[in-house]
Amino acid sequence: MPYAAIDTYFAGERQLGLLLVPVGLLVIAAAFFAWRGQPGPFGVGLAIPLALLGLLGAGVGGGLALKTPGQVNTLKAALEEKPAEALAAERDRMAKVNANWIRLKLVWTAFALIGLGLILLGRKEWMPGVGVGLLIFAATLMATDVTAERRALVYTAALDAAP
């Protein structure tokens, strides 16, 4: 059984979750400072996507960090009890995870393009602020997901190589 791969993959997931919580809180603070430090529509426009990114990061990160240890214990117990079935189920789960990466990258690309459009073509004062916020949002989530995708592909290869 690929226990080392399980430990490595899920340790990375948990570390990501633990990292996202303080980063999310810092981004929420940045949203507050954008709103208060850049008076007017631009600051509000910038603060909104930053606040959403911060809430998403802190919330998803916290959830990921909390659920991962139990997920590992459940998977390892299932592998001990019914190895073939548990391995097949984990392979299926990871196939679904891996199928979603392209969709997520397309969504983050769309956010980045919308952000650029708002910066370049926005006629209202709030539009460049939202545009900058969307660029930060898209770049952060793209970097997070591309990194997670690499970890998932290595883990999936280890699952596929297991007997």
Query: What digits encode the pLDDT tens for the residues 32-90?
Result: 999 999 989 999 999 999 999 999 999 999 999 999 999 999 999 999 999 999 999 99
Query: What digits encode the pLDDT tens for the residues 86-115?
Result: 999 999 999 999 999 999 999 999 999 999
* Helix and strand totals (H; E) in the chain: 4, 0
- Could you tell me what percentage of the chain is helix, strand and coil, using 3-state DSSP and rounding each to the nearest 5? 95, 0, 5
Q: In angstroms, rounded to a whole number, what is the distance separating the alpha carbons of residues 75 and 69?
A: 10
Instruction: Quote the distance between the C-alpha of residue 112 and its chain's center.
Output: 16
pTM of the model: 0.89
Written as six digits, the tokens of 42 are 């631009």
